[in-house]
Amino acid sequence: MEFRIIKSPSAGTLDILKQRMKASAVSAMDGADAVGLVQGRMIEMICAADIAEKAVGVTVEDVRGSCPQNMIMIAIFGDTSSVESAIQEIKRKLEEGKKLC
């Protein structure tokens, strides 16, 4: 499982993400100071999405890859500290046990 955080993402970067998201998700980006990216196997990303969603101040979206086999990527939008907390929460659960859910 891999994690990245982009602070103040550029317009072009958000554009690349927008092309890979469902149309109705685009509004989640507006007013987001940061975007967190988590990439992993599909079954674990469903769990990771659920953990992040249950954290406060963030929205979680599914980013369609280019046919990435078992891997999918989710994007977590929100203000920088909320995105960092949501990702911290996933990492903390990962360290506790092997399964996120």
The encoded tokens of residue 45 equal: 């990303």
Structure tokens at 5: 């955080």
- Could you give phi then psi for residue 18, rounded to 5 degrees? -60, -40
Residues between 45 and 64 with contacts to a second copy, criterion CB under 8 A: 46-47, 49-50, 53-54, 59-64
x-or-dash string of contact with a second copy, 2-41, rule CB under 8 A? x-xxx--xxxxx--xx-x--x--------------x-x-x
Each residue of 52-66: b (16+ CB within 10 Å) or e?
beebeebbbbbbeee
Tell me if 73 contacts a second copy by CB under 8 A: yes
Q: Is residue 99 within 8 Å of residue 47, measured between CB atoms? A: yes
Regarding 99 and contact with a second copy (CB under 8 A), the answer is: yes
In the complex, the residues that contact a second copy under the rule CB under 8 A are: 2, 4-6, 9-13, 16-17, 19, 22, 37, 39, 41-44, 46-47, 49-50, 53-54, 59-74, 99-101
